[in-house]
Amino acid sequence: MRLTRWCLLLLAAAMAGMILWAAMAPITSASSEEIFEIPKGTWARRMAGNKLDILPSEIHLTLGVRNILVLKNMDDVPQVFGPALMMPGQTFRLPFELASSYQFACTAHASGQMTIVVAPMPASPLARLRWRLKALLMAAQRS
């Protein structure tokens, strides 16, 4: 009974520590680039009737953390990917400096539209906490 209480206390302390860290530690990133790639054979697979969603219809970036969108066309044919017509083997690197929501025409989506939401750098502890939770959720959704 006493051991269980200690374990619970320890767990609560660890969680509080994690929350404190998530709220206080500055947000950094090894790379400021968010990379998306059209794999080789995409066009052929589409022509064969496969429905492929390579690019999410909404991309989230954060100023000062990850604010550069990188699109790579590794397929054998030109692709309109976001705002750019990209030749095979080409990379398109688009930096963002203003927090806003950007709409681009994109033939890679059924809606024909792609939205890039650029959020400001989270400045307050609460904003950092919220940003980390959201990033965690998005990573979980992707995996």
Partner 1 sequence: MLFLSLLFAAAADGADDTNLKAGVFTPARPAPDFTLSGSDGSKLQLSKYLGKVVILAFGFTSCPDVCPTTLAVLAQARRNLGRDGDEVKVVYITVDPERDDAKRMRKYLAAFDPTFVGGTGSPERLAAVRREYGIAADKKRAGSDYVVAHSSYIYFIDRAGRLRALMPYGHTADDYVHDVRILLKR
- Of 42-50, 56-64, 93-101, 130-138, which segment contacts partner 1 by CB under 8 A? 93-101
Q: How far is 58 from 62, CA to CA, in rounded Å? A: 13
Pick left, alpha or beta for residue 89 (phi over 0 → left; psi -120 to 50 → alpha; otherwise beta): left
- Of 3-11, 17-25, 56-64, 98-106, which segment contacts partner 1 by CB under 8 A? 98-106
Q: How far is 28 from 65, CA to CA, in rounded Å? A: 6
Q: Which is nearer to partner 1, 87 or 138 (CB)?
A: 87
Minimum CB distance to partner 1, residue 56 (Å): 18
Q: Which is nearer to partner 1, 47 or 98 (CB)?
A: 98
CA 11 from centroid of its chain's CA atoms? 30
Is 80 a binding residue for partner 1 by CB under 8 A? The answer is: yes
Phi, psi dihedral angles at 117 (to 5 degrees): -100, 115
Q: Which is nearer to partner 1, 22 or 59 (CB)?
A: 59
- For residues 95 and 87, the answer to whether their CB atoms sit within 8 Å is no
Which residues lie near partner 1 (CB under 8 A)?
A: 69, 80, 83-87, 89-95, 97-98, 100, 102, 104-105
